Structure 1
Amino acid sequence: MKQTGDKKMSLLRRPAVLVGAGVAMVALVLGLWAFQPWRLWTSNTIDEALPTIEPTSVSSFAESGPAAEPEAESDSDAASASETTEEPAPAPETPAEPIVLAGGEFVSQEHATSGTAEIIELADGSRIVRLTDLASSDGPDLRVAITDQEAGGDWFKYRDNRYHELGVLKGTHGNQNYEVPAELDLDGLSSVVIWCHRFSVAFGSAPVSL
């Protein structure tokens, strides 16, 4: 009788064990998807040059079709021509140098992060955020954003008020450019942050108050 009872208990426990194993497997898969722990050992480097605005070429003379055959000059035309001096063609315009509006060094937060972030105005009036000598950790769903929160301190505060994403982080290391929308008012914005969108936490941030 005892062996029969033990056998029944074993059969009853088997489905519970299988269900438990299935739940554990699902939890493991979800954990790996969310945390992606292998990214602690991965990195990639991007090296973008500072954008340049090419000068607009200025033509010396307007194109007016095929040249006409010269006509014989009268004495009065020759005298008038001798008094006329030809103006030199204007020199090509030299593009204005980029202007650094604000910038500062990264402060480490959840992960060690170094380098600088600058807001730069280009010659045509467009603006970019440039990350120089960036070195940070890889992670799931990393973004570059500009916010009204002070750099450093609380890891989670950056989405509390004004938060504007500029794009997905291009690389964990190197030099990178991120376009600032023309309509974005930078007044009051004070930090550039490497933001983990999945877990709402800052890897690092840099002060860029105007």
Structure 2
Amino acid sequence: MKLRYSTTIIIFGLLTACGTAPTKVDEPFPTTSSAAMATAQPTMDSMMQTDALTMTDDMMQPTDAMSMTDDMMQPTAMPTADDMMQPTVIPTADTMIQPTVEPTTEARVEPTTVPAEPVVLGSGSFRGIDHKSGGIATLYQQPDGSNLLRLSDFFVEAGPDMYIFVAKAAEINQPSDLQAGYLELGKLKGSEGNQNYSLPADFDPALYANVVIWCEKYQVLMAVAPIQ
């Protein structure tokens, strides 16, 4: 019993010293503003309103009857028979008032909108490499144009000094496969749980085929998720 108890203490001490205790995170999916952007246009009602404050004093004054001239006070001449017999002039097509042309659909200004939902660029399931692992890696493009890698329901066997990469090689089975090129996204936030990693603005998903979990201390692959 003493030997078994001592062995348990030694193993636990080694795990603690290596920093291999599991760590769990649960980050929500980040959202960006997707409200429609529209330029306010003047309404017909506002265009038809008359600004009372712009009326001059002359317009507001009543007509002064005393200012009428003698000519204006003369009786109106009665029309003669010849004047009354003149035919009414029929308006021609040119003199008729043409209807107002309605604006076409192309002429109307439509509000500019942005996508309301993130776009999936690719995803894949994790498989462990000499370690246990699972979960989903998904590449997203956000409505604001930014790129994001999200790990969902993720877990990997805990290890020290773990990092996350996106790698260019079509298949990742051993450390030498990373020589084809990779992009480091930083330290792994946790060995379990949902987590997000920002990608550069010029990130091209067509150039990267795998998400890789890497142990820097021992230079070993922990897990890989092929992206399709």
Aligned residue for 1:199, secondary structure, equals: coil
Task: Tell me if 1:200 matches 2:216.
Answer: no
Alignment partners' CA distance in 1, 2:219 and 2:191 = 18
Q: For residue 148 of structure 1, report the CA deviation from its aligned partner.
A: 1.5
Alignment map for 1:93-172 (pairs within 5 Å): 93=113, 95-151=115-171, 153-154=173-174, 156-172=175-191
Name which of 44, 56, 73 aligns with 2:23: 44
Q: TM-score, normalised by structure 1?
A: 0.62
Q: For residue 157 of structure 1, report the CA deviation from its aligned partner.
A: 3.1
The equivalent residue for 1:188 is 207
* Aligned amino acid, residue 116 of structure 2: A
Q: 1:158 to 1:197 in 2, by over 3 A?
A: farther
Q: Is the 8 A contact 2:172 2:210 kept in 1?
A: no
**Structure 1 spans left out of the alignment, 5+ residues:** 1-31, 63-67, 75-89
The equivalent residue for 1:176 is 195
Alignment partners' CA distance in 2, 1:38 and 1:164 = 25
Percent identity, please.
31
Per-residue CA distance 1:69-112 (angstroms, 9 max, x = gap): 844497xxxxxxxxxxxxxxx87946431111111100111310
**Which of structures 1 and 2 has the bigger CA Rg?**
2
Q: 1:54 to 1:37 in 2, by over 3 A?
A: same
Q: TM-score, normalised by structure 2?
A: 0.58
Per-residue CA distance 1:25-79 (angstroms, 9 max, x = gap): xxxxxxx69x94451xx112111122211135657489xxxxx9844497xxxxx
* Aligned amino acid, residue 189 of structure 1: Y
Larger strand proportion, structure 1 or 2?
Answer: 1
